[in-house]
Amino acid sequence: MILSISGVVLLAIIVFLFFRKDGLKASHAVVCALFGFFLASTAIAPSIKAGTASLASLLGGIKF
């Protein structure tokens, strides 16, 4: 658990620096994918899934 959390934190910092410095390139996309896989294995993954489902439901209910 500690290893996956530290991996998530490290990859989050790397992704943030990639976006700030030069935009997202192909090699950066690989790091972002790894970040997603590591994040999915943490305890916060169900909360993220529920939050995004709630946001999608909220956005789906907006009438224009």
- Are 34 and 12 spatial neighbours (Cβ–Cβ below 8 Å)? no
pLDDT, residue 4, reads 55
| pLDDT of 51 over the 70 cut | yes
pLDDT, residue 1, reads 46
- Are 42 and 8 spatial neighbours (Cβ–Cβ below 8 Å)? yes
Please report the sign of the dihedral spanned by the C-alpha atoms of residue 23, residue 29, residue 35, residue 41: positive
Q: For 15-49, what is each residue's pLDDT tens digit?
A: 788 778 877 777 877 887 888 888 888 888 888 88
pLDDT, residue 5, reads 64
4-14 CB burial, b ≥16 within 10 A, e <16: eeebbeebeee
